[in-house]
Structure 1
């Protein structure tokens, strides 16, 4: 089943699609050369917004959940990509330890079952080691559909991490380390830890990511002879904000005003009759928390106590002090009349699938990663890597998915730049 998409059939997005399709050999060669120089994150998911006049990533996740929303048809791609990724890192690997979030949420645990299935089919023994103090013995949890997962307590020796009678070569985190890296994961010099600890939200910042993405977008725009704004959300950043104490709000107001003015200029240049907006997010934010949509800088003076409280903390109770003010990108996608946005899933350097995040009660300018969202598979009729040249823009689902995959890979490349820049073990040359 291919979702019934309602998208703009005219305007810049189709010119962009046309240019991307015509440039497929150039684009694929460019990516190939980039991956010779840079290591992709182990796995990545990217939220993409299609405004009809602009197509841009708005969030990049380096510890993606939601693998359970990929259809069985997508699994062969994921298995092949997993094989390629493991082969590069540890060709002799036979045991993989998966370290998840500490939650008993059934949907999240179904995501773990899917990851286990992918890596098992890639030829690895996969077991789940929990960071939770509540897991003191192997704990089996039944899932809908007759599946189950078993969480086991981690065992740490001086230099290695494993489980009872299970010594892995590679440890894969599916935990974004919002509260920082626990000591049990540090100083593992004999095992591969993926992603690295500095990819966690204890270190990572959205502003660093989108600065790297802007660099990638500029280079890609130059390659295709196009304005990189069409694929790049502009942003500003504010440090030392405290919503609970009304501190730093002047910085927030002035930076919001400046960014809205820049967006208005771009809208005027392209003849776009929409009201610009920005999305204010915790710079270290995760899980759809700490997000605010603003259309006028004056709105910041009138935030309700409930809004300030919601913005003051993010996942794992982390206090918000830094925020990113990001150009808001409308979504022009609908699935059966409900507002939708595509989420692209990648492993190693390959697009392996994705889905639409759909929310019937949210508007085109709102965050869809919220309670009440549902997921509709991207339902590839053909692989995202098989665009159809010569087909009218907007008329072909594989072409649209190929375009999503290009944007997803640009964000993934930006993440690899970002991780290189924040690697504590990288050599710094003056």
Structure 2
């Protein structure tokens, strides 16, 4: 089930909320049956957009780095879920190694690592941190603003195993909190005697957003049929192009064709549901996690007016990783109706194994409802449990778990990630059943 957490929503339930809350027993059974066939990622997070008429994921992260943004009261849930996840891969686990981003000095990210370490230590595991950074040759203590400290140690390769401290720390499970945007290091290649989570092919060196979205199409189509719902209400339309060149404008016709096709489908749905909003599309990289480099278009004509500096930013980011500079994803934009203290907000759902363990709001006073909230101006507000004393009988909205639909859509995206990893696994025989 999904914890009953606060949301910014009040008043009458939307049709999507009503449908999901009325179908809770069916939905939970559906998920149980799906997890008999698929293995969830060790952990994941999903950014959502609630437009009122539509509730959909806009990003699925397999290396979540915002555990410090969860409410403190969520940690028992997270610990229980982490224990179930670890036991699935290594029932007799004693030691666990976390590999964070290489020598990151971002204090917010490091607090995330500290919280993640805390969750895993509460499961009874010995947890240590390691890095393959070339300039790390001895253990390095990092002080955090909270007063805590982290010790980062150099990784060692002993045959087919990764160890620390001259082999004295030998983990059965290695947890990556590094999305491999800098590539797959040699030291992590061909590990056969330990469990690496997520697997290497989940990193942005090889991962493509379009593959995930196609898996999500498959999941949502099946789910929506099961509960008798239009899948579009939970799923943005999308397309991809790989030949556009911002310098020469080569294949601009292909890009324009895809934009026109997606707009046509969105406009048809808006007309079907009587939606007065003006639709928009988002163009972003298909090949890495860089949603701060994206463009918004409101018509096909906007393609000819685009600021091509943005295209160059996407291309440069891709080329720095040795990726196709021209892999673009065109995705239906989903506005957010939610605000926090009159600031634009969007919910983020956090999961460990197949369980929702909490969430928070990403907030940005400098961005509008149709814009990405990911920028230096963003902030976060943790979502805590709704207390019985806070539920008022005269407010229909607070009588229900309004976070539940967010948890459902988050788990649909997580299930899609499971299919995605299965389909892209270079060694499918190694999958955990």
TM-score bracket, normalised by the shorter chain, equals over 0.9
Show the counterpart of 1:229: 232
Residues 380-414 of structure 1 deviation map (CA, whole Å, 9 limit, x = unaligned):
2269xxxx9xx899712862211100000000001
Q: CA RMSD in A?
A: 2.1
Larger mean Cα displacement after TM superposition, 159-168 or 391-400:
391-400
Residue 164 (structure 2) pairs with residue 184 (structure 1): no
How many equivalent pairs are there?
418
CA distance in 2, matches of 1:106, 1:316: 28
Q: Please point out which of 188, 206, 210 is paired with 2:209.
A: 206
Residue 168 (structure 1) aligned to one of 168, 171, 174? 171
Aligned to 2:121: 120
Which structure carries more relative contact order (alpha carbon 8 Å, separation 6+)?
A: 2
Contact 1:380–1:398, Cα closer than 8 Å, also in 2: no
Q: Unmatched 5+ residue regions in structure 2?
A: none
Post-superposition offset of 1:322: 1.0
Q: Helix, strand or coil: the match of 1:313? A: helix
How big is the shift at 1:27?
A: 0.4
1:69: how far off?
0.5
CA distance in 2, matches of 1:212, 1:109: 32
- Cα drift, residue 239 of structure 1: 1.3
User: What is the 5 A alignment of 1:144-163?
Assistant: 144-163=145-164
Shift of the alpha carbon at 1:245?
Answer: 4.2
Question: 2:339 & 2:227 partners in 1: Cα distance?
Answer: 28
Q: Is 329-338 or 393-402 further displaced after alignment? A: 393-402
Would you say the 8 A contact 2:17–2:405 is kept in 1?
yes
Shift of 1:246: 2.9
**CA distance in 2: counterparts of 1:242 and 1:382, whole angstroms:** 54
* d(CA) in 2 for partners of 1:81, 1:249: 47
Q: CA separation in 1, counterparts of 2:405 and 2:308?
A: 41
Match of 2:38 in 1: 38
Q: Structure 1: how far apart are the matches of 2:373 and 2:161?
A: 40
- Find the counterpart in structure 1 of residue 58 from structure 2: 58
1:419 and 2:421 correspond: yes
SS of 1:396's equivalent in the other structure is helix
- Equivalent of 2:349, from 336, 339, 344? 344
Retained in 2: the 8 A contact 1:289–1:315?
no
Whole-Å separation in 1 of the counterparts to 2:387 and 2:48: 20
Is residue 257–residue 297 contact of structure 1 (8 Å, CA) maintained in 2? Answer: yes
- Checking the alignment, whether the CA contact within 8 Å between 2:7 and 2:402 is kept in structure 1 is no
Deviation at 1:298, TM superposition (A): 2.0
CA contact (8 A) 1:160 1:191 kept: yes
Distance, in Å, in 1 between the alignment partners of 2:157 and 2:247 is 39
Q: What SS class does the counterpart of residue 314 from structure 1 fall into?
A: helix
Residue 29 of structure 2 corresponds to which residue in structure 1? 29
Asked if structure 1 preserves the Cα contact closer than 8 Å seen for 2:6 and 2:386, the reply is no
Instruction: Answer yes or no: is the 8 Å Cα contact 1:287–1:315 preserved in 2.
Output: no
Is residue 6–residue 335 contact of structure 1 (8 Å, CA) maintained in 2? no
Residue in structure 1 matched with residue 363 of structure 2 by the alignment: 358
More displaced stretch, 344-353 vs 181-190: 181-190
Q: Give the superposition deviation at 1:308.
A: 2.8
Displacement of 1:284 in angstroms is 1.4
> Could you report, residue by residue, the CA deviation over 1:136-162 in whole angstroms, capped at 9, with x for unpaired residues?
211111101211111111111221112
Pairwise CA distance, 1:426: 1.9
308-317 or 298-307, which moves further after superposition?
308-317
| TM-score normalised by length of structure 1 | 0.93
CA contact (8 A) 2:81 2:352 kept: yes
Query: For the Cα contact (< 8 Å) 2:6–2:403, is it kept in 1?
Result: no
CA distance in structure 1 between the partners assigned to 2:198 and 2:223 by the alignment: 26
1:243–1:311 CA contact under 8 A, matched in 2: no
TM-score by length of 2: 0.92
Indicate the residue corresponding to 1:18 in structure 2.
Answer: 18
Distance 1:140 1:24, change over 3 A: same
Q: Where does residue 86 of structure 1 map in the other structure?
A: 86
Q: In 2 relative to 1, CA 196–156 (structure 1 residues): closer, same or farther, beyond 3 Å? A: same
Q: Please give the alpha-carbon distance, in whole angstroms, between the structure 1 residues aligned to 2:268 and 2:157.
A: 56
Please tell me whether the aligned partners of residues 46 and 345 of structure 1 are also in contact (alpha carbons under 8 angstroms).
yes
* C-alpha contact (below 8 Å) 1:79/1:121 kept by paired residues: yes
Distance 1:115 1:250 in 2: 46
